[in-house]
Amino acid sequence: MCVSGGLLLRHFLLRTPIFIWGRLVDYSALMAQADALSLRGLGKTCPNPIVGALIVDSSGAVISQDFHDGGLHAEAKAINKIREIPKGATLITTLEPCNHYGKTPPCSDLIVKSGIKKVVFAVSDQNLVAKGGADHLRAAQVDVIGGVLQDQVTYSNRFWLNKIKNNRPYFIWKIGMTLDGKVCAKDGNSKWITSESSRAQVSKLRSQSDVILIGTGTALADNPSLNTREENVKQPRRLVMGHRLIPPASNLKDQSAQTYFLHSHNLDVLLDFLAKLEVNQVLVEAGPTLGTFLMKSGVIDEMHIYLSPSLLGSGQSFIDDLGINSLENRVMYKVKSTEMVDTDLKIILAKNQ
């Protein structure tokens, strides 16, 4: 049965199974599996993207899978797991295979040499140095289909894609607060506004982050460690911004994680420093001073709010004056998701693009 490329793509974008050479294969479901696999690389791949890859045989059964975790690329790891690629095998990968020599050889060359004759990917490579893998494969008579679950995979890989597009990391501001927007009581105590379950989720988020950023005010008031409690993971790097000195006995000066102290209040200095670290994503766990500064600077791309069902009435608000005097000038975000976490309401907000 002959199926045109245009019809194939329409079916893929609609996420419906189709018959290919008499067999029912749902590449959208397989891409969703590859996407979920790619998320295991969060916090491990910078400055590169997260990628998940599957190899399926001619019946659509998965015979190999892997993800990028900072070493070999996902496609190479999946191919290397198989002694001999079976006839009719298809590679499903979340990102267009790379086409340049970096730390590893081009995945596009490896795919051609492997004998794989069909490649399905979600998102085109946006890196000017590495793009072009799809064209290279087509020139080698490999059938290539792109755009499968593109929106979903774009969101999963938003940190790296944002860095390529905007030449800066993606910033997530995590906030735990009461219903009236307070992050600590009048006496300065903030432990604990949110539930243990919420704090466990934050620990997981830390493990998926490249750098955790706070100001000297938070460092002095809370003496945080900013470490993750996840097992068998490298502790994320810590960055403290501000001019005040941090005492030698501070938890931030222990040897559990690499820590940087940036004695500046300047956004360009911060972004230049982060560029040298080659990070994709920054988790902001700052208080209102640094958080407000970053919000006014326009770099808070996403907010993870853990809303406790409690009221304080007094205490410190999570944000200071933004200098906004009318509704027309308010800062708007989209609600991406809501979730009950024990007694707390978790809200993920993303900036309107």
Active-site positions read 75
For the chain, what percentages of helix, strand and coil (3-state, to nearest 5) are there? 30, 25, 45
* Locus of tokens 């190999």: 64
Residue 183 region by backbone torsions, left for phi larger than 0, else alpha for psi between -120 and 50, else beta: alpha
Burial 14-40 (b: 16+ CB within 10 A, else e): eeeebebeeeebebbebbbbbbebbee
Q: Which of 173, 207, 269, 159 is nearest to 261 (CA)?
A: 269
Sign of the dihedral through C-alpha 241, 205, 167, 129 = positive
Q: How many angstroms separate the CA atoms of 139 and 8, rounded?
A: 20
Give me the residues paired with residue 215 across strands. Answer: 241
CA distance 178 to 175: 10
